[in-house]
A and B are shown apart, each in its own frame.
Chain A
Amino acid sequence: DAGVIQSPRHEVTEMGQEVTLRCKPISGHNSLFWYRQTMMRGLELLIYFNNNVPIDDSGMPEDRFSAKMPNASFSTLKIQPSEPRDSAVYFCASSTGGSNTEAFFGQGTRLTVV
C-alpha cells in the first residue's frame, strides 16, 4: 500500500479564496483524522470519521472549515473563505479504528494564505 496520500503537497492562495485539501486513506482503514500543525499549537485534531461518518468535529475552528468523507477511499477538508491565520500544515491520518490503534499519517499539505 502507498500509505495515506494527500494532495496537494503545497498550496498558496489569496485571502478570501476557497481551499480544498484531499486525502486518500489506507485501504481497509475505518477511521480517518484531519490534524492541523502549527508551531504555536502543535498537532490539533480538527475532525475524525469512522466508517465515513463524522464522529467528532469539536476541533473544527469555525464555520469556514468543513470536511466530508463521501466514501471509504476519499476525504476533503475545505476552507471557505480562507484567512492568513489558516496557514499551517494539514495532515490526514487513518487507522484501523477501535481503541489504541496506530495512526498512519500522510505527508501533509502546507497551506499558505497571503
Chain B
Amino acid sequence: QQQVKQSPQSLIVQKGGIPIINCAYENTAFDYFPWYQQFPGKGPALLIAIRPDVSEKKEGRFTISFNKSAKQFSLHIMDSQPGDSATYFCAASKFGDDKIIFGKGTRLHILP
C-alpha cells in the first residue's frame, strides 16, 4: 500500500511557467511533509518542508500549499527555469518516527 501518492509521473513546462506537483496521503498521523529534489547522478536533497499547522510555505520561487482536510499538498515552482529540471519527491513522516516515506517522484523538464 502506497502511503504517499504523487502525480504526475512526469511534467514538461515552458521556461517561466508554473509547474505544479501534487501529493496525497492517508495516514493522519503524518505531521511533517518535505519535498526533495534530485538531479541526475545525485542523491535527493531537501528542498522545502511544511508542517500541517500552516496552509502555505514559500522559499524563494518554491511554494508548498497544504490542505489538511483533503490530506493533500502540492509544490509550485514560480518562474521556472531550465535549471529546475530534476526529479521531485514529496514525502511524509510522523512524530516519534525517524523514517521518511517518499512518493514515487515526478520527473520535471523545463524547456528553454
Contacts and interface: CB of A to CB of B under 8 A. Distances in A.
Given A43-B105, A100-B93, A107 B98 contact: no
Interface stretch (A12-20, A62-70, A75-83, A91-99): A91-99
B89 A55 contact: no
Interface string B38-75: 00011111100101000000000000000000000000
Nearest to A50: B98
Contacts of A105: 43-45
A88 interface: no
Interface residues of B, number: 26
A interface majority secondary structure? strand
A56 B94 CA distance: 14
B104 to A, nearest CB: 3
Contact of A100 (B32, B89, B101, B103): B32
Contacts of A50: 98
B42 A42 contact: no
Contacts of A104: 45
Contacts of B104: 41-43
A4 interface: yes
Interface of B: 6, 31-32, 34, 41-46, 49, 51, 89, 93-105
Interface of A: 4, 31, 33, 35, 41-45, 48, 50, 55-56, 91, 93, 95, 97-108
